[in-house]
Chain A
Amino acid sequence: MEEILLTMRGICKSFPGVRALDKVNFTLRKGEIHALMGENGAGKSTLIKVLTGVYPKDEGEIRVEDRPISIHSPQDAQKNGISTVYQEITLCPNLTVAENMFIGRTEGVGVNWKQMEKRTGELLSGLGIPARPKQQLGSCSIAVQQMVAIARAVDAQCKVLILDEPTSSLDDKEVEMLFRLMRDLKSRGVGIIFVTHFLEQVYAVSDRITVLRNGVLVGEFKVENLPQVELVSRMMGKELEGLSDLEKEKSAGALEGETLYQAEQLSSTEARPFDFRIAKGEVNGFTGLLGSGRSESVRAIFAADRVTGGKVRMNGKPVNVTSPYQAMKAGIGYLPEDRKRDGIIADLSVRENIILAMQVMKGFFHPLSKKQMEEFADEYIRALEIKTASQDTPVGSLSGGNQQKVILARWLLTHPQYLILDEPTRGIDVGTKTEIQRLVLKLAEEGMSVTFISSEIEEMLRTCSRLIVMRDRKIVGELRGSELTQSNVMYTIAGGGKENG
């Protein structure tokens, strides 16, 4: 039997109004890579933060090598041999590699940098990390920076190494480099907790998988006993057998109609190259697990991130879309995922928020008259049934659903030919959800093309006539018509065939 390194028993953690962790158990053995999986809000980052002392736990017990420990700060965790390498590099890019390895860990006033550089050189070559001790950290690639952070943790005698989304900004070659390092550490007896969204990477390196959902432990599995499909279904909380396929309300949609928008090998700083087309009057959707690249892809269409390549055609004519303004000019509207950050301007009134995009399109030297603005605002407040005291109410005081409608109104006012809705139904009540879905279908009937993204698969199945499935930032499948069933979507996400997983 393998030696047990770390046990967490009955960990509970509540935030106001939310039970983030409910009696979660977690066990890590010596020389094991243990993947921690779960969808958004599953509690995996809360669990990590409890373990590293960022959050205090409400209940439960943590033992390292069968010795109960209490952790109140990241420093405490480090003293107990628990080191974390975060997705965001927590090193100083303006210092050298050697300085980053040793700063904050030395005793006394003076520092023997010569000796440290020598020691760093030995460590780096021992672990096969392609960096030089005197090199500026900022000039290393992100992957190497991450490895330097790992090397620092290893040198600090860590027993438990937590890697929080280490691969999210690495390319394939760099991921392979990181995996080699992880396997090397594993053979030295370090226990590694690996948090990632990438299913294939989990299966490439992990020995065990622990799945969390909604703050509750789903189970701990050996990798060989948990096929990908089953992992996906456990993460999403849907039993494979009992999947009821909902009746679709929509018509099949003008799937084979005239192509409105077409992108070839479109890529941005965040999204890998992909091909995509949408017909006039079609509603389609991007689906996939969190981090699969679905939002990044639609952001590339609207040029919300810097576009790095690809050809775009609107109505068959090539257009140049490299900024949101050009996208708007080309007739594309985009309702962002994070409405607080990218969408509403909370202190401005409902009217001003509705007029915003329209005004930008017209140019600031052709202001709308006050009367026109009031008319437009009135029309859309009525059409979308926005519940607001008046046009002058600040948007921030509206409910989430009504805020979403205000942004929707903003885009409808510009009369786009193609509207992208990224998670329009997140965090709003059920009634408004169905209203928005119905509205999407109505817009499509009137000839508008819509891309609809939601993390609730049922919602997408109900509204979309075509689903593009993404996994690990690649398009892995396209489902249409009768193929649109929950189990099909899940099999495609998991990467198995239709029959076996």
Chain B
Amino acid sequence: MTAVSSTAAPARRREPISNANLLTCISVGIFLLMYITAIITLGGGFNKPQQIFDILNNNAHLIIIACALTIVMINGSIDISVAGVVALVSMVTVMFLKGKLWPAEGMSDGVRVALAACIALGIGLLFGLVQGALIAYLDIQPFIVTLAGMFFARGMITIVSVDPLQLTVKEEPGILEIIQKRIEMYFLGSPNKKGVIIPARMEIGVIVALLVVIIIAVMLRKSKLGRHFYAVGGNRQSALMLGINVRKTRFSAHLISSLLAGLAGFVFMMHNVSGNATNATAGEMDAIASSIIGGTLLSGGVGNVIGTFFGVMILATIKLIVVASGLREPWWQTITTGAMLCFFILLQSVILSRRGKGRPALPAWMKFRKE
């Protein structure tokens, strides 16, 4: 546990560190610790910068839906439809880009990609409006509503197209060139066997995901709506008494969540260039797990997207480490993910139960500054 105190210590300021920030610091610390350990003991790909970018490239969509989950969880709600929306969006956009939705003759490739992005956001918006209204204004359990949303989205995929679709260089070269554009960074490159420097490559989706993280982080921290999310999640009754429009706040959370899911679907499509009913299977569970590892409480009121970002990174890194240590069977990844999740929930409940009993939230050995 020495890692905990050493990573949390720099946050010492005028105020003692809050529970939420502490949980985030823990997740950042664990990520760094894990990654450095991996570099030292496993070497291999881990000592190349490209490894980090690979993780980001493969998980850009997950970062976005994990941010969506963080918002609804802070709000004391849950949204398990996100991965379904991702899959639906990827299928519909691939179809559109292949010209199968309607023949888009004479449209330039750029316009078609932009239109596909609009379709993606439109699908997200639709889900957000319906789910948000059902949850916030008709007071139906968020779990039930979004479960229905998930089934609906998965079912719709098959209605749209029974067969998996794929964008190919042969048929859609122009579009692929646009969406598969990579940012190449020679200064982070590493030499290959022949001694030629291969640049580190990052996809556009990663930039989108990082922008989402930053924008949501600022929104949650500074804006009125952001603080309302925390208030409603912390204590809905109190929030009402404080004059907050609780229904509107909950509606907004689900609207934003589904919009982000639509965006994530587009990012997923840019990376995988395929539409398939099994795309992003169980992605919502990964997103929930990432949020929790990043320090978001399922009970609401606590969390931030910076932690969530590191939560995604931790999950992805664990999986890589497990594979790199020679445990190639897929179940080892699931088992370690489960163990990590267990550890974090345990940690959270210990911290919270201490706060709930009127004792200081931090045990004595974690105390940095006397009140």
- B241 located at the interface, meaning its Cβ lies under 8 Å from any Cβ of chain A in the complex: yes
Q: Which of B338-364 contact A (CB under 8 A)?
A: 355, 358, 360-361
B239 near A104 with CB under 8 A, answer yes
Distance in angstroms between the alpha carbons of A106 and B222 in the assembled complex = 14
Pick the contact of A109: B223, B231, B238 (CB < 8 A): B223
Pick the contact of B227: A99, A136, A142 (CB < 8 A): A99
| Shortest Cβ gap from B76 to chain A (Å) | 11
Distance in angstroms between the alpha carbons of A138 and B16 in the assembled complex = 12
Nearest B residue to A169, CB-CB: B358
Given contact pairs A90-B238, A94-B20, A136-B15, A104 touches B223 in the complex (Cβ within 8 A): no
- Annotate B17-31 by CB proximity to A: 1 below 8 A, 0 otherwise: 011100000000000
Chain A residues touching B, majority SS: loop
A93 near B234 with CB under 8 A, answer yes
- A433 located at the interface, meaning its Cβ lies under 8 Å from any Cβ of chain B in the complex: no
B18 near A136 with CB under 8 A, answer yes
B302 near A94 with CB under 8 A, answer yes
- B370 located at the interface, meaning its Cβ lies under 8 Å from any Cβ of chain A in the complex: no
List residues of chain B with CB within 8 A of the CB of A363. none
Given contact pairs A103-B244, A136-B18, A110 touches B223 in the complex (Cβ within 8 A): yes
Q: Which of B16-61 contact A (CB under 8 A)?
A: 16, 18-20
- B250 located at the interface, meaning its Cβ lies under 8 Å from any Cβ of chain A in the complex: no
List residues of chain A with CB within 8 A of the CB of B223. 109-111
List residues of chain A with CB within 8 A of the CB of B241. 74, 90
Nearest A residue to B225, CB-CB: A109
Given contact pairs A134-B14, A139-B16, A92 touches B230 in the complex (Cβ within 8 A): yes
- B278 located at the interface, meaning its Cβ lies under 8 Å from any Cβ of chain A in the complex: no
Given contact pairs A92-B230, A92-B301, A109-B223, A100 touches B242 in the complex (Cβ within 8 A): yes
- B170 located at the interface, meaning its Cβ lies under 8 Å from any Cβ of chain A in the complex: no
| Shortest Cβ gap from A51 to chain B (Å) | 15
B242 near A90 with CB under 8 A, answer yes
Given contact pairs A91-B242, A103-B228, A132 touches B234 in the complex (Cβ within 8 A): no
- B243 located at the interface, meaning its Cβ lies under 8 Å from any Cβ of chain A in the complex: yes
- A173 located at the interface, meaning its Cβ lies under 8 Å from any Cβ of chain B in the complex: no
- B168 located at the interface, meaning its Cβ lies under 8 Å from any Cβ of chain A in the complex: no
Distance in angstroms between the alpha carbons of A111 and B244 in the assembled complex = 14
Distance in angstroms between the alpha carbons of A91 and B235 in the assembled complex = 8
Nearest B residue to A107, CB-CB: B224
| Shortest Cβ gap from B199 to chain A (Å) | 41
Pick the contact of A113: B15, B222, B230, B234 (CB < 8 A): B222
| Shortest Cβ gap from B24 to chain A (Å) | 14
Nearest B residue to A113, CB-CB: B222
A94 near B222 with CB under 8 A, answer no
Distance in angstroms between the alpha carbons of A111 and B223 in the assembled complex = 6
Distance in angstroms between the alpha carbons of A420 and B371 in the assembled complex = 42
A93 near B235 with CB under 8 A, answer yes
Pick the contact of A103: B231, B302, B371 (CB < 8 A): B231
B224 near A92 with CB under 8 A, answer no
Pick the contact of B15: A75, A134, A138 (CB < 8 A): A134
List residues of chain B with CB within 8 A of the CB of A95. 227, 230-231, 234
Distance in angstroms between the alpha carbons of A99 and B239 in the assembled complex = 12
| Shortest Cβ gap from B343 to chain A (Å) | 23
List residues of chain A with CB within 8 A of the CB of B302. 94
Distance in angstroms between the alpha carbons of A113 and B227 in the assembled complex = 11
Nearest B residue to A73, CB-CB: B240
| Shortest Cβ gap from A103 to chain B (Å) | 6
| Shortest Cβ gap from B217 to chain A (Å) | 15
B355 near A103 with CB under 8 A, answer no
Nearest A residue to B244, CB-CB: A104
- Annotate B116-146 by CB proximity to A: 1 below 8 A, 0 otherwise: 0000000000000000000000000000000
Given contact pairs A93-B234, A94-B302, A111 touches B224 in the complex (Cβ within 8 A): yes
A-B CB contact pairs (8 Å), 8 listed: A89-B238, A92-B242, A103-B242, A105-B243, A113-B222, A136-B18, A138-B361, A139-B360
Given contacts A94-B20, A95-B234, A134-B14, 13 further A-B contacts (CB under 8 A): A74-B241, A90-B241, A94-B301, A95-B231, A103-B239, A104-B231, A104-B244, A109-B223, A110-B222, A110-B223, A134-B15, A136-B18, A139-B371
| Residues on B facing A (Cβ under 8 Å) | 14-16, 18-20, 222-225, 227-228, 230-231, 233-235, 237-239, 241-244, 301-302, 355, 358, 360-361, 371
| Residues on A facing B (Cβ under 8 Å) | 74-75, 78, 89-95, 99-100, 103-106, 108-111, 113, 132, 134-136, 138-139, 142
Question: 4 closest Cβ contacts across the A-B interface?
Answer: A104-B243, A94-B234, A92-B234, A94-B301
